[in-house]
Amino acid sequence: MTFGEVVRQYFQRAVRNEHFGLIFILIALIALISVMTHGAFLNGTNIRSLLLRSSITGVAAVGQAFVMLSAGFDLSVGGVAVMTTCLGAAIMTESPRFLAHLPMVPGVLIMLLVASGMGAINGIFVSRLAMPSLIVTLATWQIGKGAAFQISKGGETIRYLPDSLAFFGKGDIGGLPMPVIIFGLAVVLGYLVLQHTRFGRSIYAVGGSEGSAWLTGVNVMHIRFWVFVISGFCAGIASIIQLSRVMCTNVMVLHGLELNSIAAVVIGGVSLFGGKGSIIGVLIGTFILMVLGNGMNLLGLSTYTQWIVKGVVIVAAVSIGALRGR
């Protein structure tokens, strides 16, 4: 076999890979924005900022992917995250206006427990009472936003957090920022669970056909419950990263996290009807969404224009997924 034939064979395999199109779009988008911003996009400071922002949306998107692969939706991600952020800040602040001042470790653990608990509530209503996930999570999103407003005493900004908390958002290991490391761990763990465990295969089975999954012995209620717990837990991690990055919070932080996480998952190739997609696609989809937003910020486009562009991208991604399915 000649060298040219080997190259052609590997190229054909790459093109057939389900992620080839996403990688091509990401590279083309980076090249286009770099040219339009005269190289400002590739500035080291901007790349670092991009990775830090991607870590928050990306971690939430990993949890969202578990839910959507099982043919569900979790609109509560943003509400859970902002409530958890305000609660964590309130219990760890030194301000006498809020709750008792707790050390960083128990404060972070409480944040994760509360976020996971909210996910468990979603899971109970969806799995045990067979309620539509869209309605249930929309309700818990509203509850989370309202609770955040109450915890922050009418939307007041909460400050004076313990310095040790900053490690999760501003620290680094070997030159890599902690948020990026956390995001990487979430992607790796999500990939291993979905691709190499019985639980992961069961999620795909439930998303593909709930009836067929039940007939093959899959505990459908068990799967539907735990995917929401995982999503809530990931929302809690995202809230910890956000809180430790800015060391203060209010009810306006993490605005739109639920829609951004869904957009990243959809752009990454996860089917809206469940059963198809991968965490690698979600990773690429997150970067496409964040690169697009970062580029539009550098170009000075208005927020409303950015909404239009993101909407068009999401519709295009769903259309491509539907065409591929046919």
Confidence of residue 56 (pLDDT cuts 50, 70, 90): very high
> What contacts 323, CB < 8 A, 6 or more positions away?
none
> What contacts 22, CB < 8 A, 6 or more positions away?
267, 268, 269, 281, 284, 285, 288
pLDDT, tens digit, for every residue of 271-326? 888 888 899 999 999 999 999 999 998 888 888 888 888 888 778 777 766 666 56
Do 286 and 209 touch, CB atoms closer than 8 A? no
Confidence of residue 8 (pLDDT cuts 50, 70, 90): low
Average pLDDT on 121-127 reads 94
Q: List the chain domain ranges.
A: 20-325
Whether residue 14 is predicted with pLDDT greater than 60 in this model: the reply is: no
Which tokens is 267 given? 């752009």
Do 288 and 25 touch, CB atoms closer than 8 A? yes
Whether residue 107 is predicted with pLDDT greater than 80 in this model: the reply is: yes
pLDDT for position 9:
62
What dotted CATH number matches 20-325? 1.10.3470
Whether residue 64 is predicted with pLDDT greater than 90 in this model: the reply is: yes
Tell me how far apart the alpha carbons of residues 145 and 141 are, in angstroms, rounded to a whole number. 6
Whether residue 12 is predicted with pLDDT greater than 60 in this model: the reply is: no
Average pLDDT on 240-259 reads 89
pTM above 0.85, yes or no: yes
Which tokens is 310 given? 């993101």
Tell me how far apart the alpha carbons of residues 92 and 240 are, in angstroms, rounded to a whole number. 12
Go through 91-116 and write b for each residue having 16 or more CB atoms within 10 A of its CB, e for each that does not: bbbeeeebeebbebeebbebbbebbb
C-alpha closest to that of 64 among 52, 75, 56, 79: 75
Mean pLDDT of the chain, nearest integer: 88
Secondary structure percentages of the chain, helix, strand, coil, to 5: 75, 0, 25
Average pLDDT on 14-41 reads 81
Average pLDDT on 120-139 reads 93
Q: Which of the residue ranges 13-17, 118-122, 266-270 has the most confident prediction, judged by mean pLDDT?
A: 118-122
pLDDT for position 154:
83
pLDDT, tens digit, for every residue of 158-186? 888 888 999 999 889 888 899 999 999 99
Tell me how far apart the alpha carbons of residues 183 and 185 are, in angstroms, rounded to a whole number. 5
pLDDT for position 309:
83
pLDDT for position 326:
61
